[in-house]
Every structure is written in C-alpha cells, then in structure tokens.
Structure 1
C-alpha cells in the first residue's frame, strides 16, 4: 500500500559551499630520491577519480588498438591508497615486508601530495626510505618541500590543522578515550586517525561491516585496527554529530556502573557460597542438620545459643577427673620405665660378672697342674749329672748342685692359685644366683611398664579427643561471628547492588533520551542511504534501506524481498552507508571532510551491474552544486563503465607486468 501511495525518495544533496571540496588531493608524486625526476606524478581532481589496473580477460572491442595488459593485480593500486592516507598522517604506508623492500630499493625515497584544505594549498612530503624526513608546508610547492635543503617539520602540524578544521577538540574528545599520562594533543591526533580509517577503508576488510575499517594484517599502525564494536559505534556517532558531551559522559558512567555491578554481583555470589558452606559446617557441629531455623537477625543469636549448649555438653567440670588422671599415668609409666632400666642394668652387670668369673676361674684352673708338678720336682731334686733323685742334705753337703728350686715360693703360689679359684667360683655362683633372681623381676617390671604405657596412651587419646571436641565447640562461636559478618556484608552489598541498578537505569534512560534527541541525525542519513541502496540494486528491485541506531549500536537494514544479509548485500550496505555519509559531509552535517578512498570495492561476488552503478551514482553527485563538492578516489581491476574508460577521471592506468607498468616502475 505504501509503495502505491508514495513515490520512492530520490537522491538529493544540497551542498553548503560552492568553493569545491573542503579537502581534496590535487597531486601525488613519488621520488626515488630528493631532487630527482619523479617515479610517478599523478594529478587528481574533485569528484570521481579512478585508478585502474585492467584485467586481461575484461576487454571490449574498444580496446583492440591497445596492447593486451598484464595481470590486473600486483600493480600498485592498494599502495596508491596507502600512500594517500600516509600523507594524511597514518603511521605506515605498507606492510612491514613491503616497506622493507621499498626502503631497500629507495633508501631516500619520498612521497608527496598537494592537498587543498578549505581552498588553501598545503604540501606534504614523507619518507618512504630508511631516512625519516617529513615536511609540511602551507603554500609553496612539492619541489621545494622535497628538496634536501628544506628542514623537516614532522607530520604533526598537518594533523593538528586537520583536527582543528574538521574535528575540533570537543569532537576529538568524543571520538577517542584519553590514555593515562597522554597529552590532549596526542589524543586528538589519534582521533584524526580514526577519521582517516573510516574515509579510507582497508581492502583487507572487504567492505564487510560498516564499522570495520582497518585489518590487523595490514600493519598500518592505525589505532582503528583493534577497535571494539562499541568504540567504533561511538566514533561513528561523534563524527556524524550524533552524540553530545553529556551523552558521552552518561555512557561512560553507564559503562563504569556496569563494571561495578559485575564486581558487586561476583562478590555477592561468592559470599552466598561462603555463607552456605559456613552454615552447613555450624549446623553439623551443633547437631542441628535438617532442623528448622529462624531467619534474619534471629539466626545469629539462635546459633550462638546452640553453640553454648554444645560447649557445656563437652566441658570438663572436675579438674581432677578424666583429664587430670593423665598426669598420674605419666608418673606411673615413668616409674615403671625407670625400674625396668634399673633391672636391665643389674642383669647386664650380673651377666658380665658371671662371664668374667667363669673365664678367670678357667684360666686359674689351667695353671694348677703346672704348679703341682713344679712343687713336686722341687721337693725331690734330680742330679744334673746322673739324673737320679738325690737327698737334699747330700746335695747340700757335696755341693754337686749350687742352685736348687725355691720350694716355699712354689708352695705359696699354689696356695694363692687355689684361693683365687675358690673366689672366682664363688663370684660365678653369686652372679648366676643374681641372674636367676633378676630375670623374673625384669619380666614382671617390663609387663608393668608396657601396661602403664598402654594406659597412658589410651588416656591421652581420650583427653585429646575430648579436648578437640571442646575446642571445636568453642570455635563454633567464632564461626557464628564470621557467618554474621558475611550476612551483614552481603546484605549491604545487595543494597549497594540495588542502588547501582537504580542509578544504572536512570543513566541509561538519560542516555537513551539524549540518543533519541539525535535520532534525526540517523534519520537524515537514512534519507540518503535509502535511495542509494535502491540505485545500487536497481530501480526494479524495489529495495529499501534504513539506518538504525539504538543501545545495541549501528544497524544497516536492506529490505529486498525481505530483509537481506548476504555478503554482496552487506557490501552494498557499506558502500551506500559511506556514500550517504559523503552526502551528509557535502551538506556540512558531519565532522568529516567530503572525501572517500575506496580500494577495489568490488568483492563478495558483487554483480557488475551494481558495480557500474556505483560509478554512475558518484558522477551524478558531481552535479550537486556548481561543481563537484567532494572527492571520491576508487581503485579497480574490473573495467569501469564504457563511458568512463577514456575519460579524464581515469587518473592512472597500471599493470602487473612488465615492471615499468607498475606504480614504482620496478621489481621489488
């Protein structure tokens, strides 16, 4: 019904200026070294600018007079885009590997652009070699800026000027969050890099998402490479003028409150678990498991009373009772142990005495026969001449023997030998008697000692068990105190969480109200997005498009026989979104310059009819105003529409081979 009653909206753009684009590239020059002839000198103009590297299979009859081109890839289209944004302040102009190859080939290479900003001429020269040398001049010429005699200025003056002209300090503060210890100017320069990222998407992103501008693999050094979805949405809103400092502050508060709420929630859940475990332990200790319990403040007092009852049940009333008897048993055991040690010592001594006496008695007994023989021989001597026993008197009288044995001495030795033998026999007998007596005594003492030890161990176990139960009962009171503390802390945390929820709701509502006030920004953006979608998909497609933004972020919708979200349709969404933003920039409604650089936007199996319509739409935008009020630079391998193949808008044609046909005119 609506399609029948209302005519679809047509694309209409109302420029706010007649002086041309506020920012556009007029010239790109590449030098192998300063003061040398340029490798490339490319002129650009307002409106559509095409960098084309023809595909050999994409030819028509109009190309018969030309030599077949080399491969359409590897010619340097992407490098052109990267060099342009490098001259706008991006840190790197290629991947690490390619930069290394280029700097090796052109050790003092330079790239420069003539840039028109609000009608004023600026020249920028940056190093692509191993020697850093960046120059920014207002007015002047590229030839002067690239001269070895020109002192470097760094790229910061250009970025600061562009921030002041387009973003302003307030908008830059909305675009990016200041880092700790970072100066305000550095944050503003990072904000400009976000703007560049949107205006000059990486080819590696394949135009898949509206807020995905830089691929990490591109190694561009841009802060947009790892930008979160939420931060990217804030960048879009800030650059579109769809967010105010108050809303930005409210959203920061919402984010902070959200993190605090998560922390409080985790703390509450942890304390609830601790409370549950503590309560189980206390109830088990006071033997109240499974019993009904009071709630609220009564629970603590109830558990304290139960703890006191438990302590009374296991307390020791009589100091001389069960626990005190352990001391008596220890004294008894010690006495029995010493008695065993005494008997063992006596037994060992008696055994030693018996063994010694027996050994000495045997030795004495072994000497007795010799002494008896010696005495007998001394009493009846034998003649040394005839070896016949003689009478002592005769011997003394005849003086035949002048030396006779000392009989008295031998007799004394024999008597002593006999006395010693009797004494040792007596000692041996006494020791054996002691052994017979001490053995049973030691056995009985050992039995008494072992029993005393067993009694002492049993008493100690009983005392320890009783003491442990008593102390455990006493600890219940401490556990109840800890439980009450946890309950109090959790109650306060739950109150805090409720307050946070209330405040969070208020801040979200306030932020939502602010967001609703800026809803017309996206509505007006949608007034360009809808006809652009329809133009790209074809007038017969009856497609419609709209731009939505809510608390969940930016959402691009294309209705095409139902809501569509294929890779090719998503690419159309991104192209239409960028072009709609370009239209709003032409109308002076954004914080972005009316500039777009699209590197090979035909991907995701995009139909050639849609792709060619992109060029037609851009050409139509050139007619808005007294002349093109924007600049759109696009690189392509696919053939442009026939009416543009020989047009001046094709600023540069490149080929993958031979080497001279590439951007840098050599192999790397």
Structure 2
C-alpha cells in the first residue's frame, strides 16, 4: 500500500469537496425554511432518533422512513447527479412544494460556495461565491445553478488521468465519479464495484470499468499501463476484424458455387430440383444437360463450318 500512496500529496489538509450545510425550504424566503442540516468536515453519521417505546410501529419503530436516504439524495441533487432516484425524489418534492428547493453551502478547493436549486426542473437556481447570508434570495447571484455545476464537474475532473477508459475510449465523466462517491443505498454492499441499483453507472462495461475509474481518480494508473491497455484494446479489435474477414472468406467459395449453379439453371432453363451432378450412371443432372447442350452446340458449329467451307469453294 505504501508504494501506491507514496506519490500522493501530503500537504492536503482538507478534502477537495465537502458540504457544510443543507437547507430545505417550501417558499423562497426565510419564513418558510423547513429544515437545516449542518455537516462537518470528515465523517458524518446520519441516524434516526429512536422513538419512545410504543409510540411507533413497523418500520418507523426501527428508525426507517424518517428521511435518511432522502437527505443523501438531496445532497446528490446539489452535486448535479442525474440518476433516476434523485429525479424521482425531486419530482415528488415538486408536487408537494412547487416553489420549494434546497440551499447547499459547500467547500470546493477550500473556497465556500452557496448553491440554490429549486424542485421545479424548469426553474433556474443560482450560485453565490462564499457563504450566503440568511436571506440568500436577496443577494446577487454569481451564476445560475447549471453553470455552477458544469464548472464544479470540470474542476473535479481536471486532475483525473487518464481521462478516458483505455480499453473502450469512453470519457470518464463527473456522473461516473458521482456514482462511486455517492453509491445508492439500494445497492448496499452487494459488490465493492456495484454503485447503482437498477439504472447502472453509465459506464459501458459494468464490471471492468468501475475499478479503472477509481484508479484514474486516485492517480493510481501509470501512463505506460494506460498506453498498454489501449494497445491491447486496439489489437483485440484488429483480431476481431481479422476473424470476421476470415469467416467471410471461408463462406465465399460456397457463395460463388451457389451463384454459378443459379446462373447455369437460368441459362439452361433447368428446374431448381434437378441435381447438379448425377449420383447414378443414368440419372439426369444439370451437368449432363449442360454437357449435352455443349456437345450439340459444338456439332452445329462444326456443320456451319463445313457449309462455310463448301460455299467458299463454290465461289472460287
């Protein structure tokens, strides 16, 4: 492990991206804030307070259905996660709070930003440089939410190397990294590389590509290895094309034979059920009929040659 991490920078004191606060509101004003959740840098444990004995039954008695997963999905919404689970939650909240949304205070490369996103997918949110005041809606926005998320994705992916999956050439995108760092609660721990339940990660190969994405993000892929993987992929493609061409060439004689046989039947006005070659000595076949027609034509040509010769002698 020391060999793998010895090249990583040792002067980093904070993660490149972390949340400080998430605010949920039903109307864009301070009087309609539903909930504020604060976070700290590092590990945050989201847990449900156990209800008093006898006050809840079923799943609620075990701390389920209180919003832990929804909170995580809202954080993913603030990172631009386009997954189905996030979209479904946003649509459900939009039906309840048509003018509502979330405000996230996050640190990106040690710089604070405040992002507001509405549940209405057609309404434009905004982003503010720094930690916004209590009434963020009254502040002048630096950019809209979509442009901010594009810059966020670009900044987060700037140091990823290689930028493409060497084997397939597929670009490694922010949504692929999001699938890893914010894996679906529904996928649980079926596999270390199973990050999304049902809808997939967006990678072309569900098994081979996730480990490559992780290594590229962590800087654990040497350039020579990446070039070698690309070379192997190219050779495999060439081998596949060569095998396909070999199969075509192997089929070609049979195709040519069938084409010749078809032309012979058409030229001789022969039925399709007449065999090409006779099995018995007296059996009829295309070969016999073509041979007979050829001999007949040769005989007629010889007769015309004799007539021509006699006519030439008479003229002389």
If the TM-score is normalised by the length of the shorter chain, which range does it land in? 0.5 to 0.7
Partner of 1:121 in structure 2? Answer: 112
Mapped pair 1:174 → 2:157: no
Residue 81 of structure 2 aligns with which residue?
Answer: 90
CA deviation map 1:305-328 (0-9, x unaligned): xxxx99975652334869xxxxxx
Instruction: Determine which of 240, 243, 252 is the counterpart of 2:221.
Output: 243
Work out which of the residue numbers 19, 33, 48 in structure 1 matches 2:27: 33
Structure-to-structure mapping, 1:545-564, within 5 angstroms? none
CA deviation map 1:448-506 (0-9, x unaligned):
xxxxxxxxxxxxxxxxxxxxxxxxxxxxxxxxxxxxxxxxxxxxxxxxxxxxxxxxxxx
Q: Hey, what does 2:246 align to over in structure 1?
A: 268
Quote how far apart the aligned CAs of 1:39 are.
Answer: 0.8
Partner of 1:259: 237
2:183 equivalent in structure 1: 201
In structure 1, how many angstroms separate the alpha carbons of the residues matched to 2:96 and 2:85? 14
Conserved in 2, the CA contact under 8 Å of 1:34 and 1:147?
no
Report the Cα offset of residue 199 of structure 1.
0.8
Change in Cα spacing, 1:315 to 1:93, as seen in structure 2 (3 Å) is closer
Give the structure with the larger helix fraction: 1
In the other structure, the counterpart of 1:48 is 43
CA contact (8 A) 2:47 2:68 kept: yes
Matches of 2:99 and 2:207, distance apart in 1: 39
- 1:278 CA displacement: 5.1
What are the superposed Cα offsets for residues 234-273 of structure 1, whole Å, 9 maximum, x if unpaired? 2122113232455434433432432332232122123213
Tell me what 2:308 maps to. Answer: none
Q: Post-superposition shift, 1:149?
A: 5.9
Residues 314 and 249 (structure 1), Cα distance of their counterparts in 2 relative to 1, 3 Å cut: farther
Give how far 1:29 is off.
0.8
Q: Deviations over 1:418-450 (max 9, x none)?
A: xxxxxxxxxxxxxxxxxxxxxxxxxxxxxxxxx
In 2 relative to 1, CA 143–50 (structure 1 residues): closer, same or farther, beyond 3 Å? same
Query: Matches of 1:93 and 1:24 in 2, distance apart?
Result: 23
| Closer/same/farther in 2, CA of residues 117 and 169 from structure 1, 3 Å limit | closer
Alignment coverage as a number of residue pairs: 269
Structure-1 residue corresponding to 2:307: none
Pairing 1:7-18 to 2, within 5 Å after superposition: 16-17=10-11
* TM superposition shift of 1:103: 0.5
Distance 1:170 1:23, change over 3 A: closer
Q: Is the 8 A contact 2:76 2:86 kept in 1?
A: no
Aligned positions of 1:463-482 closer than 5 A: none
Name the residue aligned to 1:157: 148
Distance 1:174 1:44, change over 3 A: same
Residue 163 of structure 1 deviates from its aligned partner by: 3.7
Q: Deviation digits for residues 166-220 of structure 1, max 9, x if unmatched?
A: 43266262369777xxxxxxx6xx6222222111100122221222212345xxx
1:384 aligned residue: none
SS in 2 for 1:204: helix
Q: Spell out, residue by residue over 1:76-108, the C-alpha distance to the aligned partner (whole angstroms, 9 max, x if none).
A: 111111111221222368455543321021112
| Counterpart in the other structure of 1:234 | 212
Could you tell me how far apart the structure 2 residues matched to 1:90 and 1:259 are?
33
CA RMSD of aligned residues (A): 4.2
2:46/2:68 contact within 8 Å kept: yes
Is there any run of 5+ residues in structure 2 with no aligned partner, and where?
A: 1-5, 262-274, 279-290, 305-316
Structure number with higher relative contact order (C-alpha < 8 Å, ≥ 6 residues apart): 1
Contact 2:115 2:145 in 1 (8 A): no
Asked whether the 8 Å contact 1:25–1:115 carries over to 2, the reply is: yes
Cα separation, partners in 2 of 1:170 and 1:310, compared to 1, 3 Å? farther
TM-score, structure 2 as length reference:
0.67
Per the alignment, residue 535 of structure 1 pairs with: none
SS at match of 2:202: helix
Matches within 5 A, 1:314-325: 315-319=297-301
In the alignment, the residues of structure 2 paired with residue 263 and residue 178 of structure 1 have an alpha-carbon distance, to the nearest angstrom, of 18
Please report the TM-score for the alignment, with normalisation by the length of structure 1: 0.35
Structure-2 change in CA distance of 1:147 and 1:197 (3 Å): farther
Q: 1:271 to 1:227 in 2, by over 3 A?
A: closer
Structure 1 spans left out of the alignment, 5+ residues? 1-12, 57-62, 180-186, 288-308, 323-668
After superposition, give the CA deviation of every residue in 1:568-621 in whole Å (9 maximum; x if it has no partner): xxxxxxxxxxxxxxxxxxxxxxxxxxxxxxxxxxxxxxxxxxxxxxxxxxxxxx
Report the Cα distance in structure 1 between the residues aligned to 2:177 and 2:222, rounded to whole angstroms: 18
Larger Rg, first or second structure (1 or 2):
1
